[in-house]
């Protein structure tokens, strides 16, 4: 499912226009992103939790040349599925 299909499904389920569903989805995504950028986490009980984790710097290898390269530390987004979501899969 892509974003357009999700908007159409949300509009049909909620009985609202596609424009309203698009605005609601974009608001949700923006607020999740803002919270994660601040180092917070977003928990949706039954669905899951979005959080950030810092990966340590490490040494890797270039697969083409075999040369050692330094991979810098990086903050990445993590999602842990909730129990209800896992049951439905």
> Residue 7 in contact with residue 21, Cβ under 8 Å?
yes
Give the pLDDT score at 89. 79
pTM score over 0.75? yes
Give the pLDDT score at 81. 95
Give the pLDDT score at 70. 96
Strand partners, 43: 49
User: Along the chain (89 residues), what's the average pLDDT of each consecutive run of 10 residues?
Assistant: 96 97 97 96 96 96 94 96 89
> Residue 26 in contact with residue 52, Cβ under 8 Å?
no
How many angstroms separate the CA atoms of 14 and 9, rounded?
8
Give the pLDDT score at 88. 78
């Amino acid at each position: 499912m892509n974003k357009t299909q999700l908007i159409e499904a949300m509009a049909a389920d909620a009985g609202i226009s596609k424009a309203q569903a698009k605005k609601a989805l974009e608001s949700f995504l923006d607020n999740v992103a803002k919270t994660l950028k601040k180092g917070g986490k977003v928990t949706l009980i039954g669905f899951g939790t979005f959080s950030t984790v810092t990966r340590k710097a490490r040494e890797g290898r270039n697969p083409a040349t075999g040369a050692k390269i330094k991979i810098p530390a990086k903050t990445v987004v993590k999602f842990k599925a909730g129990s209800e979501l896992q049951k439905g899969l």
